[in-house]
Structure 1
């Protein structure tokens, strides 16, 4: 069926959110970030307005959900579109609850996400491909993905992701034993199509794209991922010499020291599909079956322990409880060397913390990441010109946390 586009014209320049550049470093450019001018964003014209935020876009829309015929075409064959309305909130997208009728006339509810510009395309295509991979591995652990596409309207460039709608409770903490058993099962059952670490398309954590080029070496993959978020953070939050010095020491000394042993002396680690942004804000409990489900994935095939790095960050409160890590390791034991698990976890948390800081200017998590880098450098590769690790500002000791996507005040 046809559908008239419902998308009020917004002022130019529109929501062409800035597209991140990937950065894959090599030892020769270890002294600087980024490696060359090709990784720099072109300067914005002085008279160009900054990109609009989702809140500003919603205000311009005046309560009208931006619907398009392309979404109707993505519905299962024989479906009839009925209605769409806003549902939920998101820092980076517009989200809605869509009602359609199946071929037999029964009502079916879908969840719709809309985003703009090249960044919107990368975000929603990445979520679609991530969800397909997880759903094909464990169909009862993520809403069924139905489609990704571009709106027929040409301006602004608008993209959508359509999935199953699940009525869920997102306020209750999941049972640690059941949730971690299910998460470990996802990791164990998944299989990299190439046998390598990476993903076949870009995925995101928030509006920041991961560096996910396929790699045989987990240490190389993680270094590229780490340097990618560091480069973006420096672009968005500005230079900080001590921080940048610590970044280079972590990239070229700490990462090899902690991650190369995972694949040496006949040791092997399996590339596992991970959610990629797993904190309690991206999971819920189905109201009808009480089953746990995850959503908003930005996946890639990784060392399974990478998933737990987010649980150390201040934006995670529920999963930071030791009981969750304990239950997970009960189902999927730590890799050898086991006695370095805690330091690997601290190292993996850097990606989540720095990525968050890149998406939230002036976030305290930039300082947290720096302090964790100082800890790792002191322990494994001391270097002059950076600060001493301070346990008094380590949230894994103090218990401090933030309210994600709202304010970065300590709670």
Structure 2
């Protein structure tokens, strides 16, 4: 059942529970707060979102943003966002709404979970200034620090409703291969078998990924595990109306090579960050890793995660074909193999400029 269908069943009533509103045993609201009201606010493909008002211990009105989701998938999504937001907020407190809490409703059925954060009044339609936004993003990547020096995360996080494989790894090759294969496994499960596509997946996983990513951690080179947003496109950022600063939200983070964040911008669900000036500005503040001349091919490789994740969550999406075409390009260049198609630049969105509007065609919102 989609969120739109759930909302129709609720008849306009926002689902709320004592786990959120109880001022005697608060789980998320600051101690001393008194719940006032909650109303629907915004839209989401995977959660119910609202604006919650409470009074603090001095009687001043405070506004919060609340998300509600159902079942085990909902628990993973919202807990992952809470943990991701805590790390980002502790690194750059002005770059993401302050996270206040995550928990489960007291009602037993259906299993219902919530995430509460500070409410920020923001403009979500204006494209951010490339210089300002990319400087802030690069600073987040630079300032963040993996707790154990490895790639990964301490809990599952999601891109949409699809969980990432984020087991800790010393090797970036191993981590990205696991992440990539996890995405592909889910896609095949949801969208069905495609022999040529699956053959390309295996060639990319075991031949292309080592060829392109091993040089990042060889011959004395090192890459730093950075906290990344994990699903960064223009639909997950806004501009604070009060200050004009850019802010991100809906994080599904893990510690990764910072360039993975930019791979998302190659996918056709982006209509703003796909512009060259965003990547160019970012690279001014956080230069491409060595070997620099392979940055574009790494970017194509990193785009596979976002494209295939999108395809897994949106049946019949053309992004599956895009990912396959990009895999064909990478295999042709780095690990030729029979049994797959030739790369076709005439259907490459990065070249022809085709874009989509996420979630609309599937009637998710």
TM-score by length of 2: 0.97
Indicate which of 270, 276, 283 corresponds to 1:316.
270
Aligned to 1:347: 301
Report Cα offsets for 1:360-400 as digits up to 9, x if no partner: 00000000000000000000000000000000000110000
Indicate which of 112, 120, 125 corresponds to 2:74.
120
Question: Could you tell me how far 1:406 is from its partner in structure 2?
Answer: 1.1
Aligned to 1:158: 112
Aligned to 2:14: 65
CA distance in 2, matches of 1:101, 1:107: 5
Aligned to 1:270: 224
CA distance in 1, matches of 2:360, 2:334: 35
Q: How does 1:224-235 map to 2 (within 5 A)?
A: 224-235=178-189
Indicate which of 302, 305, 322 corresponds to 2:259.
305
Report Cα offsets for 1:114-153 as digits up to 9, x if no partner: 0000000000000000000000000000000000000000
State yes or no: 1:245 paired with 2:205.
no
Equivalent residue of 2:63, what SS? strand
Aligned to 1:140: 94
Q: How does 1:386-401 map to 2 (within 5 A)?
A: 386-401=340-355
**Structure 1 vs Structure 2 CA RMSD:** 0.6
Equivalent residue of 2:263, what SS? helix
Question: Could you tell me how far 1:77 is from its partner in structure 2?
Answer: 0.5
State yes or no: 1:82 paired with 2:31.
no
Report Cα offsets for 1:126-181 as digits up to 9, x if no partner: 00000000000000000000000000000000000000000000000000001100
Equivalent residue of 2:168, what SS? coil
Aligned to 2:121: 167
Aligned to 1:364: 318
Aligned to 1:216: 170
Question: Could you tell me how far 1:316 is from its partner in structure 2?
Answer: 0.5
Aligned to 1:200: 154
After TM superposition, the runs of 4+ consecutive aligned structure 1 residues lying more than 2 A away are: none
Aligned to 1:49: none
Aligned to 1:189: 143
Equivalent residue of 1:100, what SS? strand
CA distance in 1, matches of 2:187, 2:141: 29
Q: Which runs of 5+ in 2 are unaligned?
A: none
CA distance in 1, matches of 2:7, 2:78: 18
Indicate which of 235, 251, 258 corresponds to 1:281.
235
Report Cα offsets for 1:221-244 as digits up to 9, x if no partner: 000000001000000000000000
Report Cα offsets for 1:74-122 as digits up to 9, x if no partner: 2000000000000001000000000000111111000000000000000
Indicate which of 96, 99, 103 corresponds to 2:50.
96
Aligned to 1:404: 358
CA distance in 2, matches of 1:301, 1:211: 12
Question: Could you tell me how far 1:55 is from its partner in structure 2?
Answer: 1.1
Question: Could you tell me how far 1:407 is from its partner in structure 2?
Answer: 2.1
Equivalent residue of 1:244, what SS? helix
Equivalent residue of 1:304, what SS? coil
